[in-house]
Structure 1
Amino acid sequence: MINEIKSDAEKRMKKSLDSLHSAFNKIRTGRAHPAILDSVTVNYYGQETPLKQVASVNVEDSRTLAVSPWEKNLIPTIEKAIMMSDLGLNPSSTGDVIRVPMPMLTEESRRELVKQAKADAEHGRVSIRNARRDANNDLKDLLKEKEITEDEERKGQDEIQKLTDQYIAEVEKMLKSKEDDLMEV
């Protein structure tokens, strides 16, 4: 019983970390990274399709991404999709490759991106704490139904608190890494 509650809470906490990781990938730094374009979708034969399913995205150099579509007729569509995304990128095509240069970040835009990263990290922390709260409520319900003893409930809450501390420390580590990455000139 207690182990099931603990493993369920751990799964939810892992999902929160995964969600935070994908949110951090969307925050662009000054360097080129293929994950920046993960949120871009392309109209492919009337269907909105993720960019990575219709083209390969590679890092050409530290400031440029190279997008190679599987079909040449998609080049204008992909260019338009990247421009219309809220990433602030300006692609240009040369033959059968679309180059996406990463603009330099100003000090002000870096600070805005750090604020966004902190807000995303706070959402992650809240989500982890919600998983802890739900697990503790489940333990209290088991205690009310006399399925576990008070000692077992206390032990279960302590284990869940340790898990929570571990995952929140991971969030802090990810945030610190992202901040350092953003503020690096």
Structure 2
Amino acid sequence: MNQYPDPHQGEPWQQPSGGNPGWGLPPEPHTGGQLEPYGNPTGGYQPAGMGGMPEPTEPTLDTIGDIAITQNTVITPSGRFPIRGTVWTTTDMSRTEQSTPVWAIIVAILFIWTCLLSLLFLLVKDTKTTGHIQVTVQGGGHYHATQIMVSNSAYVQHVQQQVNYARSLAA
């Protein structure tokens, strides 16, 4: 007896059950809603609080990467801890490069014989920022680091402002 389904009979859920309990049933559609981790009877991520008590819910004021900040708490994937007395550091590992775009070089070469002003096209610069910013927070016996990808220099300044806001809450 062949243990594999006959490819000429259609999709696996259209196969005859033939001793395999899952065959013959259509796939279960996703009903929507929030995804829940497997094996968690409470339904959803619930970090351990003090003495098993649920954490009070506060509105999230800001998020930096995977770090969320409330008025009194820092929430990271590894747990919650008070924001009071935390130390925030940033390391800018991005770089900005300037180069002459290809189109400017082509236009300058094509029109160099007609007008020497075409050489002004070589002054056109294209600015490109790549890299990431590393943000770390430590306090209350916890340490967490996150890396945030950046694509322009304005976003680098935005992340720095977010960290300064977190520092003001920690003071």
Q: Considering the TM-score relative to the shorter chain, is it more than 0.5?
A: no
Q: TM-score, normalised by structure 1?
A: 0.30
Which is bigger in relative contact order (C-alpha 8 A, separation at least 6)?
Answer: 1
The structure where strand makes up a greater share of residues is: 2
Q: TM-score, normalised by structure 2?
A: 0.31
Which has more radius of gyration? 2
